[in-house]
Amino acid sequence: MTTSGTYSFNPSIGEIGLYAFNRLGIRPAALTQEHMEDLRMAANMLLLHWSNKQVNLWKVELVTVPLVQGVATYSVDPSVVLILDMYITVTNGSINTDRYIMPISRTEYASYANKTQQGFPTTYWFDRLSAPTVTLWPVPDGQEASMNYYAVQQTQDAALSNGQSADIVPIWIPAFAWGLAEELAPAWAPDKIPAVAARAKVTYDAAASTNVEQSSFYISPTLSSYWRA
């Protein structure tokens, strides 16, 4: 058996758009500038929709921020839509020690009586503003080197110029193609909406089923407190 030996299939947004229009029964020769402008908008709408559904593992990156004694609040890049995990690094000579800290809500942070109390941070509040921030509590006391967190970023904008590709991994290409067809169908092929929507769901579900971390999760209740000696 002879195979290609490559794993580089990554068509441009324009090529995927042609495929999507074909699924709607619209051939390339029939496409106009209006079709392509609608395609660009549909691609961006679809990617934003996927950013909202979370978590897109290919958009997770580790961010490290140096800490300053007495400074509680730090800026977060506006492209970050979710923080998954955070830990604080303490440096002792050549040895780094990491300690996991927990997220809290706005209400819980508001309930703290002394918000300027310094110590080793044990919690953080992610304030999801248009210019988002992270606030630590207790406030760093100078013993901590950095704050580290896994951030889920918004997908990059979709553009048709220069053969650009979508900000997705290859196994999501079928879901992206059929998702585009579903976005475009109301304007260009309303009669095909039910069939296209069904196919879009199948391809999305297939890709989403792999978009998880393969790890075990254990729940072990403590029963001793239920019994008296």
Per-residue pLDDT at 55: 82
Q: Residues near 142 by Cβ (< 8 Å), separated by ≥ 6?
A: 69, 70
Tell me whether the omega of the peptide bond preceding residue 60 falls within 30 degrees of 0, making it cis. no
Residue 218: pLDDT band by 50, 70, 90 thresholds? Answer: confident
pTM for this one? Answer: 0.86
pLDDT in tens, 63-100: 999 999 999 999 999 999 999 999 999 988 889 999 99
Contact 150, 62 (CB under 8 A): yes
Domain ranges in the chain are 13-55+165-208, 59-153
Closest-CA residue to 146 (of 157, 132, 136): 136
Q: Reduce the DSSP state of residue 192 to 3 states and report it.
A: helix
Give the confidence band of 225 by pLDDT, cuts at 50, 70, 90. Answer: low
CA-CA distance, 187 to 45, in Å (whole number)? Answer: 15
Q: What is the pLDDT of residues 29-46, one digit of tens each?
A: 999 999 999 999 999 999
203: helix, strand or coil = helix
Give the SS3 label for residue 84. Answer: strand
Which of 14, 24, 58 is closest to 200 using CA atoms?
24
The string of DSSP codes covering 122-191 is -EEEEE-SSS-EEEEESEE-S---EEEEEEEEPPPPP--GGGPPPSS-GGGHHHHHHHHHHHHHHHH-GG
Length reported for the chain: 229
